[in-house]
């Protein structure tokens, strides 16, 4: 008896040791969309030495109830049970051999259905270790169908201005449910509704509500459906019908006697377009020279007082009829039109005049600059400025330091005190002295220059004392390289041609 107990304890110890070396590997979760294919992995990690695999069984666990899906037996082969027979297969072909290899019993689910969502168990029966199993949770998603449409092909704007649904956006049979939002410049409000279906899907519906009017016509509505990480969008353009909005144009407040060929135009904004225009003059009939052409009322010939009055245009379409009016008055002479009512020709003429004036000012400025440059260059015949030249004799000029021979100067010259003005010598006679000479001085006579030269203050640094020295030469002959000027001065040929 004691021997039997010891043998049983030994077998149990071996069993526990072998169990520690066995494992069933599976993914914890898997997912797929309706109609797609998914792989459910199941791999047996054997012990060393390996245990014998007697059978592998796949089961579906739903609401606490197990349902066999597929069985692989070394002796009996492979069996897939209904209703999975057409959609479940073992991935490894070796499982189906007469001597199967059952370490990898992964199954493939094809054409997934919402009813396939459940927990699946892969169970290994071994000897002598017993049963080993693991489980995977399968989630099945349903991609929704989305659509957007106008509630009616045409929307009519009513005078009552009541709210109405103009467009609907639907996400049908989605799992999980979708999120709907609207993208539009149209002022309105959206409503949302979710409906859960028996198969576990959800239908989401959203309506867009506005007050139809002329402003809502041709407005764009975009519905955006977000499903998990995917987005779907669709757009519609509203077609809102409304009665005409009428405005009469053509009277500019300046209809005067004998003005030629004036007219009035009845402009109407309407959807659908206006089909009938009707003109009339209140408290009278249309003038005899008035002619109607669709939405325009022409007045042939010169304007006269009988054109005055209240003109009414009635425009009609399939939705309704609206009128517009204008009060026309006739003046004897033209009125000065406001600046903002001038014709395009007047504006063009004004622009041309302004442009011509600006161009003339610019041209005058350019001419002034050119004249200034020309005179400046003529003044500077030689290097430097005339104001920096020596006064030799009369009105002649020459460069400092290049003084040439000159006629003898009178010895009885007297000079007044220095000043900034041009200095003029005065010859003293024997009878009147300096005062008499000053009275007899003729400004029109030949200008007698003093026997010295002046230098501009800004250029005085360019001349030294030797330059300013003046020596008289009694010789009256002019050197060969000098040229005599009409004013009595002399300059060198070299300087003349610079």
SS (H, E, C) the chain: CHHHHHHHHHHHHHHHHHHCCCEEECCCEEEEECCCCEEECCEEECCCCCCEEEEEEEEEEECCEEEEEEEEECCCEEEECCCCCCCEEECCHHHHCCCCCCCECCEEECCCCHHHCEEEEEEEEEECCEEEEEEEEEEEEECCEEEEEECCCCEECCCCCCCEEEEEEEEEEEECCCEEEEECCCCCEEEEEEEECCCCCEEEEEEEEECCCHHHCCCEEEEEEEECCEEEEEEEECCEEEEEEEEEECCCCCCECCCEEEEEEEEEEEECCCCEEEEEECCECCCCCEEEECCEEEEEEECCHHHCEEEEEEEECCCCEEEEEEEECCECCCCCCCHHHCCHHHHHHHHHHHHHHHHHHHHHHHHHHHHHHHHHHHHCCCCCCHHHCEECCCCCEECCCCCCCCCCCCCCEECCCCCCCCCCCEECECCCHHHHHHHHCCCCCCCCCCCCCCCCHHHHHHCCHHHHCCCCCCCCCCCCCEEECCCCCEEEHHHHCC
* Full set of structural domains in the chain with CATH: 19-141 (2.60.40.10), 145-238 (2.60.40.10), 252-336 (2.60.40.10), 386-496 (no CATH)
Cα gap 105→41, rounded to integer Å: 7
Does the pLDDT of residue 201 top 80, yes or no? yes
* Average pLDDT of the residues of the chain: 76
What confidence category does residue 337 fall into, taking pLDDT thresholds of 50, 70 and 90? low
Does the pLDDT of residue 122 top 70, yes or no? yes
- How many other β-carbons are positioned within 10 Å of the β-carbon of residue 91? 14
Does the pLDDT of residue 119 top 50, yes or no? yes
Q: What's the pLDDT at 371?
A: 72
- Whether the bond between 83 and the residue before it is cis, its omega within 30 degrees of 0, is yes
Q: Are 407 and 393 in contact (CB under 8 A)?
A: yes
Q: What's the pLDDT at 84?
A: 94
Tokens of 211: 């007050």
Q: What is the pLDDT of residues 428-450, one digit of tens each?
A: 343 343 343 344 444 444 444 44
Q: What's the pLDDT at 334?
A: 92
What is the β-pairing status of strands 130-141 and 29-33? parallel
Give how far Cα 367 sits from Cα of 194, 359, 370, Å: 84, 12, 5
Give mean pLDDT, residues 109-125.
96
Instruction: Say which residue, 353 or 22, is predicted with more confidence.
Output: 22
Q: What is the pLDDT of residues 208-247, one digit of tens each?
A: 999 999 999 999 999 999 999 899 999 999 999 999 999 9
% of the chain residues with pLDDT over 70: 64
Instruction: Say which residue, 414 or 492, is predicted with more confidence.
Output: 492
Does the pLDDT of residue 33 top 70, yes or no? yes
Residue 63, burial from CB neighbour count under 10 angstroms (0-12, 13-18, 19+): exposed
Cα gap 105→107, rounded to integer Å: 6
Q: Are 484 and 490 in contact (CB under 8 A)?
A: yes
Q: What is the pLDDT of residues 147-175, one digit of tens each?
A: 999 988 889 998 888 899 999 999 999 99
Q: What's the pLDDT at 94?
A: 84
What is the β-pairing status of strands 240-249 and 155-156? parallel
Q: What's the pLDDT at 415?
A: 44
Q: Are 162 and 209 in contact (CB under 8 A)?
A: no
HSE of 199, CA atoms in CB hemisphere, 13 A: 14
Q: What's the pLDDT at 283?
A: 84
Does the pLDDT of residue 362 top 70, yes or no? no
Phi, psi of 86 (to 5 degrees): -85, -10
Q: What is the pLDDT of residues 436-491, one digit of tens each?
A: 334 444 444 444 444 433 444 444 344 444 444 444 444 444 555 565 565 556 56
Work out the angle at residue 350's Cα, subtended by the Cα atoms of residues 348 and 352, and round it to the nearest 5 degrees: 70
Does the pLDDT of residue 390 top 70, yes or no? no
What confidence category does residue 494 fall into, taking pLDDT thresholds of 50, 70 and 90? low
Candidates 56, 38, 51; CA nearest to 102 is 56
Work out the angle at residue 84's Cα, subtended by the Cα atoms of residues 78 and 88, and round it to the nearest 5 degrees: 60
Does the pLDDT of residue 15 top 80, yes or no? no
Instruction: Say which residue, 368 or 495, is predicted with more confidence.
Output: 368
What confidence category does residue 377 fall into, taking pLDDT thresholds of 50, 70 and 90? low
What confidence category does residue 364 fall into, taking pLDDT thresholds of 50, 70 and 90? confident
Does the pLDDT of residue 388 top 80, yes or no? no
Tokens of 50: 């390996």
Q: What's the pLDDT at 402?
A: 40
Cα gap 339→312, rounded to integer Å: 28
Cα gap 256→330, rounded to integer Å: 5
Cα gap 300→309, rounded to integer Å: 17
Give mean pLDDT, residues 73-79.
89
Work out the angle at residue 128's Cα, subtended by the Cα atoms of residues 122 and 133, and round it to the nearest 5 degrees: 15
Which pairs with CB-CB distance under 8 Å and at least 24 residues apart come from 446-449?
446/394, 446/488, 447/394, 447/395, 448/394, 448/413, 448/424, 449/391, 449/392, 449/393, 449/394, 449/395, 449/396, 449/425
What confidence category does residue 354 fall into, taking pLDDT thresholds of 50, 70 and 90? low
% of the chain residues with pLDDT over 90: 54
Residues 6+ apart with CB under 8 A from 52: 126, 127
Q: What's the pLDDT at 374?
A: 64
């Amino acid at each position: 008896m004691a021997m039997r107990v010891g043998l049983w304890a030994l077998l149990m110890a071996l069993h526990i040791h072998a169990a520690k070396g066995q494992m069933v590997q599976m993914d914890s979760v898997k997912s797929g969309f309706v109609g797609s294919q998914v792989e459910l992995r199941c791999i047996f990690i054997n012990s060393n030495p390996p245990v014998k695999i007697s059978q592998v069984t796949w089961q579906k666990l739903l609401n606490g109830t197990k349902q066999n899906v597929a069985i692989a037996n070394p002796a009996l082969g492979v069996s897939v049970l209904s209703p999975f027979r057409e959609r479940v297969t073992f991935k490894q072909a070796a499982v189906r051999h007469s001597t199967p290899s059952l370490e990898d019993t992964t199954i493939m689910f094809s054409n997934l259905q919402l009813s396939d969502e459940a927990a699946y168990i892969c169970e290994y029966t071994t000897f002598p270790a017993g049963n080993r199993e693991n489980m995977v949770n399968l989630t099945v998603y349903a991609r929704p169908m989305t659509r957007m449409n106008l509630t009616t092909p045409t929307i009519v704007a009513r005078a009552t201005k009541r709210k109405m649904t103009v467009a609907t956006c639907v996400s049908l049979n989605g799992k999980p449910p979708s999120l709907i939002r609207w993208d539009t410049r149209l002022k309105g409000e959206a409503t949302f509704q979710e409906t859960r279906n028996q198969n576990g899907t959800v239908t989401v519906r959203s309506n867009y509500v506005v007050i139809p009017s002329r402003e809502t016509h041709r407005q764009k509505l975009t519905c955006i459906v977000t499903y998990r990480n995917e987005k779907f969008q669709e757009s519609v353009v509203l077609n809102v019908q409304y009665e005409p909005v009428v405005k009469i144009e053509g009277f500019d407040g300046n209809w005067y006697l004998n003005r030629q060929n004036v007219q009035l135009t009845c402009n109407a904004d309407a959807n659908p377009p206006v089909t009938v225009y009707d003109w009339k003059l209140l408290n009278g009939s249309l003038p005899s020279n008035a002619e109607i052409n669709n939405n325009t009322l022409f007045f042939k010939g010169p304007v006269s007082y009988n054109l005055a009055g209240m003109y009414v245009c009635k425009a009609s379409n399939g939705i309704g009829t609206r009128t517009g009016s204008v009060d026309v008055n006739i003046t004897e002479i033209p009125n000065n039109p406001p600046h903002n009512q001038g014709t395009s020709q007047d504006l063009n003429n004004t622009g041309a005049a302004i442009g011509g004036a600006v161009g003339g000012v610019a041209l005058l400025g350019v001419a002034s600059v050119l004249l200034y440059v020309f005179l400046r260059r003529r003044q500077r015949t030689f290097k430097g400025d005339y104001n920096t030249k020596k006064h030799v004799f009369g009105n002649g000029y020459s460069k400092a330091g290049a003084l040439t021979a000159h006629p003898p100067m009178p010895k009885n010259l007297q000079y007044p005190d220095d000043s900034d003005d041009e200095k003029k010598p005065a010859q003293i006679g024997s009878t009147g002295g300096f005062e008499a000479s000053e009275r007899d001085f003729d400004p029109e006579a030949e200008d007698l220059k003093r026997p010295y030269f002046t230098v501009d203050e800004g250029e005085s640094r360019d001349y030294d004392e030797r330059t300013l020295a003046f020596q008289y030469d009694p010789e009256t002959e002019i050197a060969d390289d000098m040229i005599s000027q009409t004013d009595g001065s002399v300059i060198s040929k070299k300087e003349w041609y610079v």
